[in-house]
Amino acid sequence: MTALTSPTSSALAARTADSSAHPAAIVARADAPALRVATLRKHYGSLSALDGVSFRVGRGEIVGLLGPNGAGKTTTINVILGLLEPTSGRVEIDGIDIAHHRARALERTNFAAVYASLPGNLTVSQNLRFFGLLYDVRGLPRRIEELLGEFDLVHLRGTKCGLLSSGEQTRAALAKALINHPKLLLLDEPTASLDPSAAQIIREKIKNLATRDGCGILWTSHNMHEVEAVCDRVLFLSHGKVLLEGNPARLPQEHGAADLEELFIRVAREPLVHVSVAP
């Protein structure tokens, strides 16, 4: 990761001044996808971290954002979270343009990442309350109890997050990520520090969340077996461009690879011009 993203940043960003002229005019369209990214570019001098990235995440859909180190995944996530200004392009969350209605768009979003731990000096309950207040969650005490129960955190409610095991921290981070009933959830390697059994439980919970609540999920992982098991669709980023897109079960076969891992390795190693993009 090139940028260490603070877990509070997107919530704080959501609460900063919105450039909306009239909040009542901002209504999420019922048919809008959870996320629409259109021709996103981010230049650092002569380097194009993002070079015209476009994709969608539908409601209830889990999309894997894959790519080798330096491909542009973190940059994409940071732009969607409003932490990084793109050079050009457009991001809509639940049909709301983040450039024009920043607070309205970001209050529909949340994220969890293994590198963005919750403040360690606050207990699990205090953290959930803190983020719930930042997001202005209605019925917050009840929401906190629901999440403590759902992520098996009831017995840890009074424990400081800095003292939790990696698995417990991941569960607490996911509980925090759901505090505001997000329409779009960004998960950056959510199971990276978990044992196989704990990882499977978390994967099931997240899949259930997409199915049950219709939350759109953008999932970043370097674990191709996990991606195959969880994602409805994958995007391969390379050198800031979307190189391949499709169903993780069918994509390898369409490109003459045994599995997603073999396809990933080929995409990562071959020069951009030599990668086959059509079956």
Which residues of this chain interact with ligand ATP, rule CB under 6 A? 1-2, 44, 47, 49, 67, 69-75
Q: How far is the CB of 226 from ligand ATP (least distance, A)?
A: 15
108 and 93 Cβ atoms separated by less than 8 Å: yes
The residue whose two tokens read 């603070």 is 6
Q: How far is the CB of 279 from ligand ATP (least distance, A)?
A: 25
- Residue among 74 and 125 whose Cβ is closer to ligand ATP: 74
- List the structure tokens of 242: 């979307």
- Residue among 114 and 184 whose Cβ is closer to ligand ATP: 114
Q: How far is the CB of 268 from ligand ATP (least distance, A)?
A: 10
Closest to 53 measured CA to CA, from 42, 64, 40 = 40
Q: How far is the CB of 41 from ligand ATP (least distance, A)?
A: 12
Put the strands of the sheet holding 233-238 in their side by side order: 109-113, 184-188, 216-220, 62-66, 233-238, 241-246
d(CA 260, CA 59): 24
- List the structure tokens of 97: 């343009």
The residue whose two tokens read 């997409």 is 210
- Residue among 49 and 177 whose Cβ is closer to ligand ATP: 49
Radius of gyration of the chain (CA): 18
- Residue among 82 and 95 whose Cβ is closer to ligand ATP: 82
Q: How far is the CB of 2 from ligand ATP (least distance, A)?
A: 4
- Residue among 83 and 128 whose Cβ is closer to ligand ATP: 83
Instruction: Please measure the distance between the N-terminal and C-terminal CA atoms of the chain and give it in whole angstroms.
Output: 32
